[in-house]
Amino acid sequence: MDLQLQNKVIIVSGGAKGIGEGIVMLLAKEGAIPIIVGRNESDNLKTVNAVKELGGESFQVTAELTDPNASAYAIKTIIKEYGKIDGLVNNAGVNDGVGLETGGYEAFMASLHKNLVHYYLMAHFALPALKKSKGAIVNISSKTAETGQGNTSAYAAANGGRNALTREWAVELLKYGIRVNAIIVAECWTPLYEKWITSLPDPEEKLKSIVAKIPLENRMTTSEEIAAATAFLLSSRSSHTTGQLIHVDGGYVHLDRALANA
């Protein structure tokens, strides 16, 4: 299916690694121009160069999105370079383990800036350009807002906010023809996930116990599968889809866990 994304300028925050990188590479294959916004210039450029090696076009803005001024700077830079924005993927963030017992005010607020505040700010500053293009917004979110996980209050709260903002923006932006949806991720294999697994006492056994609970095929979701759903929601092929929380998780959140061992 042609997603009709040719020459569409689409921002992907945290687009240098993991899920973000998967989204960037797929968008490039669809003919879009993915713009990476992230804190590490060398990581950003590595992915930009990977796109260019495949014959695509990409661009990067180095920005620390926990800084409230960084989102305005990123959008201004992209508009100066391309003159338009056709889509925004809010993706940057990390499950940083700020719990109820183990956290505190400073850590909780820092985590919200790391995982939620820039979602709002990127959309806020990109909105004038998105109005012109009737673009789309996709928020990458996590199961933690719905299932809980333990010892991750701030990240769960941030993802609850991501989900709520998805529905709120879908309503507010109806009059502009801007669609807003979210992809809910459960167990997806990324470099950060691998780093977490390998930090545990028995990584192999832990991973085995996790995939055993994923109903569809007893395996992790791939970043490419998240990317495919994201690209569809950005495209005109999903022209009547807005305000949706799409779970790309092999049935992890909603299907009976007994099915995983059936």
Q: Which residues are catalytic?
A: 155
Residue 187 CB-density burial (10 A; 0-12 exposed, 13-18 middle, 19+ buried) = middle
Candidates 182, 163, 166; CA nearest to 247 is: 182
DSSP string, 147-201: H--SS-HHHHHHHHHHHHHHHHHHHHTGGGT-EEEEEEESSB--HHHHHHHHTSS
Q: How far apart are CA 126 and CA 79, in angstroms?
A: 9
Q: Which residue has the tokens 């979701």?
A: 221
The per-residue b/e assignment along 137-176, b for 16 or more CB within 10 angstroms, e otherwise, is: bbbbbbbbbbeeeeebbbbbbbbbbbbebbbebbeebeee
Closest CA to 54 of 21, 95, 26: 26
State how far the alpha carbon of 167 is from the alpha carbons of 160, 161, 173, 242, in Å: 11, 10, 10, 8
Tokens 């968008």 map to which residue?
A: 27
Residue pair 167/156 in contact by the 8 Å Cβ criterion: no
